[in-house]
Amino acid sequence: MDRVTAEAGTHDRARTTLAALSPREREVAVEIARGCSNAEIAAGLGMTVATVKAHVSHVLTKLELGNRTQIALLVHDADLI
């Protein structure tokens, strides 16, 4: 398998995985990938920090990830940023 084919497969898998998220969870995931803190995400998306934390927790649980870095890598692989 060549590199382009492998990258396309990674892209498709990442997008399929992220499809499990609600639109709001996906927005939070993208902001995490941009390097935003919970407070920055809250301000940018018009929600409380507690709500952001809840969304982050849901994203980690739904996608079976262990930390924000893994969320960021997945969003990057899906070419959402």
State the DSSP code for 21: S
Query: For residue 60, what are the contacts with CB-CB under 8 A and spacing of at least 6?
Result: 66, 67, 71
pLDDT score of 4 more than 50: no
Average pLDDT, the chain: 92
Q: Walk me through the domains of the chain, giving residue ranges and CATH numbers.
A: 3-77 (1.10.10.10)
Q: What is the pLDDT of residue 70?
A: 98
CA 6/CA 66 separation, integer angstroms:
24
- pLDDT digits 0-9 by tens, 9-42: 788 899 999 999 999 999 999 999 999 999 999 9
pLDDT score of 5 more than 90: no
